[in-house]
Structure 1
Amino acid sequence: MFDIEWLKPGVLLGSMIFALMGVVVFWVCFVIVDKLTPYDLWGEIVEKKNMALAIVVAAMCLAIGQIVAAAVHG
């Protein structure tokens, strides 16, 4: 009738662990990119309202997120 495989504790715990691993990998990659850039990303985007840099950082976040999702899924 209804397939509730995802409600089993092992499946749910595995999903939560993979999600946490994905967030950690994303955060580490973002910190690395932030350190590699010659200026403070947060200060440029928030304080100086640098829209171009905000778009580049958003694209980088989407790309890293896609890579992490593909690695966790596959």
Structure 2
Amino acid sequence: MMFFEYLKPAALLGSLVYALMGVVIFWVSFVIVDKLTPYDLWAEIVEKHNKALAMVVAAMCLGISIIVAAAIH
């Protein structure tokens, strides 16, 4: 019967609010990091196919996501 605890409207709404808050915080922090770098991350990764930079950005995204998840939890 513990499964039905997650179907309560308050729990569902709280989960959606925290998920949305996490996505917004992640997006804002990514934009800040993008502005702090001396070159355009998107152009460097997509147009010039810089795989090393793509891996660094992916690691940064995972790190920010873990921090946001831990802070919200």
TM-score bucket (shorter structure): over 0.9
Structure-2 residue corresponding to 1:22: 22
Structure-2 residue corresponding to 1:40: 40
Q: Would you say 1:10 and 2:10 are equivalent positions?
A: yes
Unmatched 5+ residue regions in structure 1?
none
Structure-2 residue corresponding to 1:69: 69
| TM-superposition CA deviations, 1:21-73 (whole Å, max 9, x none) | 00000000000000000000000000000001000000000000000000011
Q: How many residue pairs were aligned?
A: 72
- 1:42-57 equivalences in 2 (<5 Å): 42-57=42-57
Percent identity among equivalent residues? 74
TM-score, with length taken from structure 1: 0.96
TM-score, with length taken from structure 2: 0.97
Aligned mates of 2:72, 2:36 — CA distance in 1: 25
Query: What letter corresponds to residue 21 of structure 2 in structure 1?
Result: M
Instruction: Give the alignment's Cα RMSD to 1 decimal.
Output: 0.4
Off by >6 Å, runs of 4+ in structure 1: none
